Amino acid sequence: MLKSFRPHIGIFGKRNVGKSSFINKITEQDISIVSSLPGTTTDAVYKTIEMSDLGPVVLIDTAGIDDLGDLGKKRIKTTIDVIKKIDFAVLLISENNFDIHEEKLISLFNEYKIPFAFIYNKNDLTKISKSLESKLKSYGKKILNFSNVSAKKEDVKNLIDLISKNIPKKMEEAKIFDGLIEKNDHVLLVTPIDKGAPRGRMILPQVQAIRDVLDHDSIVTTLKETELKSFFKSNYPKPKIVVTDSQAFKYVNRIVPKDIFLTSFSILFARMKGDFNLYVNGTPSISKLKENDHVLILESCSHHSSEDDIGRIKIPRWIKEFIGKNVNFDIVSSFNNLPKNIKEYKLVIQCGGCMLTRVQVLNRLKPAIDNGIAVSNYGMAIAYLNGIFDRAIVPFKK
Ligand SMILES: Nc1nc2c(ncn2[C@@H]2O[C@H](COP(=O)(O)OP(=O)(O)OP(=O)(O)O)[C@@H](O)[C@H]2O)c(=O)[nH]1
Ligand SMILES: [Mg+2]
């Protein structure tokens, strides 16, 4: 299973509260270095483990939120960046030590809408005070007393259950074709095999789409765009919907009869990765771009760009051609910092986000959304630039 489909759980707290010991305890492995010296963990440590009901999850150990000095500041920033990537947070507290540092974490969890639980650790040393207990209760979250030293198997199990129960079901578990097809419907997938295609296999969105059609007890046909004409000339059953690679949209659009739904893989996945309506509303802003406006392109994985790279080369070129003006593009990979203040951009275009969770995509777009900047994604933008945007979003308008 791809990492992006696994729930991500971040472990937070001050230095020395026992975050690393906690991870080692619940995974029963020596994953993170533990020591009595505050500031032992200096960078986020990611570890995938199998967790009862949840299956594989990614646990993230972080540096203490109260770290000091210039280096400490950098570590705190890394810790805060982790918040943008997680689905659930555990806030560890020990020795009744709760102050602005914990409050800061809580306000960040709330800002990014991350559900969380409190774990009062080192319970073997100091019990939680009445005043701290009532303070924590006021946040309306679960509180669990724990000790990495004296916890028995049973206690660890309870703790894992608590975490599992509180992790929201992931959007990725919503099915790709939900609401679009029913049992026995036919789906036609158009998958060009171009220079960028990997050797000897299909790419993940194609594989996932095929699997999902099967899960809907429907029937899937896959072909390259070069076989599309002969498909429609033959007496194959009429597809309910055709899904094409965005890059072949223009061509496929001409061939697929108008009474058949046509959309793209990217648009299909945009529904699960990000806010679909936001993209629908933001995409037509392409037409409103003025001479020398700035557009931000957000990629999800750092890769070497080829001469026909979709995000770096093609989309910028197509936009310039489409509006007949010069537009400046900044292309940013992963969670790298932006070269400009977000307010300087007129439009942000996010990639399909196949390597990201839905929460990660939303958090990445948050600064743009908060500042009222138009947001689109690759598939939507390409559909728009090819003049088939309206057709490609019809299947989703119910
Ligand atoms: N008594 C007791 N000691 C604990 C417990 N959990 C951790 N410790 C001890 O506390 C110290 C710090 O533990 P770590 O797990 O390294 O703490 P951390 O939060 O990861 O610390 P940093 O990486 O420095 O931020 C170590 O000496 C641990 O052995 C606990 O539940 N009870
Ligand atoms: Mg640590």
Express each pLDDT in 304-363 by its tens digit. 666 678 888 889 999 999 999 999 999 988 666 788 999 999 999 998 776 777 778 888
Q: What is the pLDDT of residue 304?
A: 60
147 CA closest ligand 1 atom index? 31
Judge if the beta carbon of residue 21 lies within 6 A of ligand 1.
yes
Q: What is the pLDDT of residue 121?
A: 97
- pLDDT tens by residue, 160-186: 888 887 777 654 456 789 889 999 999
Fill in the DSSP letter of residue 313: I
- Select the highest-mean-pLDDT range: 27-41, 60-74, 311-325, 375-389: 311-325
Q: Give the pLDDT mean for 247-259.
A: 92
Judge if the beta carbon of residue 34 lies within 6 A of ligand 1.
yes
Q: What is the pLDDT of residue 231?
A: 97
Amino acid in the structure at residue 71: L
Task: Band the pLDDT of 303: cuts 50, 70, 90.
Answer: low
pTM score, whole prediction: 0.62
d(CA 394, CA 280): 11
Is 187:219 a contact under the CB 8 Å cutoff?
A: yes
d(CA 243, CA 293): 33
Judge if the beta carbon of residue 25 lies within 6 A of ligand 1.
no
Q: What is the pLDDT of residue 306?
A: 66
Q: How far is the CA of 56 from the centre of ligand 1 (A)?
A: 25
Choose between 294 and 7: higher pLDDT: 294
* Whole-number percent of the chain with pLDDT over 90: 53
d(CA 15, CA 342): 32
Q: What is the pLDDT of residue 259?
A: 94
Supply the residue whose CA is at minimum distance from atom 21 of ligand 1. Answer: 16
Task: Band the pLDDT of 196: cuts 50, 70, 90.
Answer: confident
The residue among 165, 132, 128, 159 whose CA lies nearest residue 11 is: 159
For tokens 């933008």, the residue is 381
Judge if the beta carbon of residue 35 lies within 6 A of ligand 1.
yes
Q: What mean pLDDT value characterizes the chain?
A: 88
Q: What is the pLDDT of residue 234?
A: 93
Supply the residue whose CA is at minimum distance from atom 7 of ligand 1. Answer: 18
Q: What is the pLDDT of residue 372?
A: 94
Choose between 208 and 305: higher pLDDT: 208
HSE (side-chain half, CA atoms, 13 Å) at 148:
22
Q: How far is the CA of 36 from the centre of ligand 2 (A)?
A: 9
- pLDDT tens by residue, 269-288: 878 777 888 899 999 999 99
121 CA closest ligand 1 atom index? 31
Q: How far is the CA of 18 from the centre of ligand 1 (A)?
A: 3
The 3-state DSSP class for residue 220 equals strand
d(CA 79, CA 73): 10
Judge if the beta carbon of residue 62 lies within 6 A of ligand 1.
no
Q: What is the pLDDT of residue 1?
A: 35
Q: At what angle do helices 19-27 and 153-166 cross, to 10 degrees?
A: 100
Paired residues of 261 in beta bridges: 241
d(CA 309, CA 331): 12
